[in-house]
Amino acid sequence: MSDVPEIICEDCGKRLFHENETTLKVEEAVHKKFCRKAEGGDHSYMHKDPAHQDTFDAERANDEKDKPILKK
């Protein structure tokens, strides 16, 4: 059995591994964008303020009965 290439994130310690080195490099690039930096940190950089519940996307607004309105 051959060794599988791996990368360990210096910020969070997550081990990334894949048989294909090109795929591993892609996984590393994606991980760098979404790395939580520490266990238990936020999973993305898109956060919604709990006090602000209105939608930011008018295409996905709700009507007065709280049913989704999807414009076509």
9: confidence class by pLDDT, cuts 50, 70, 90: very high
Question: Residue 1 above 50 pLDDT?
Answer: no
In the chain, domain spans: 1-39
Determine the residue type at 62.
N
C-alpha distances (whole Å) from 41 to each of 16, 34, 35, 53 are 18, 11, 9, 22
Percent of all residues in the chain with a pLDDT value above 70, rounded to a whole number: 60
Q: Out of 7-11, 13-17, 26-30, 33-37, which region has the weakest mean confidence (pLDDT)?
A: 33-37
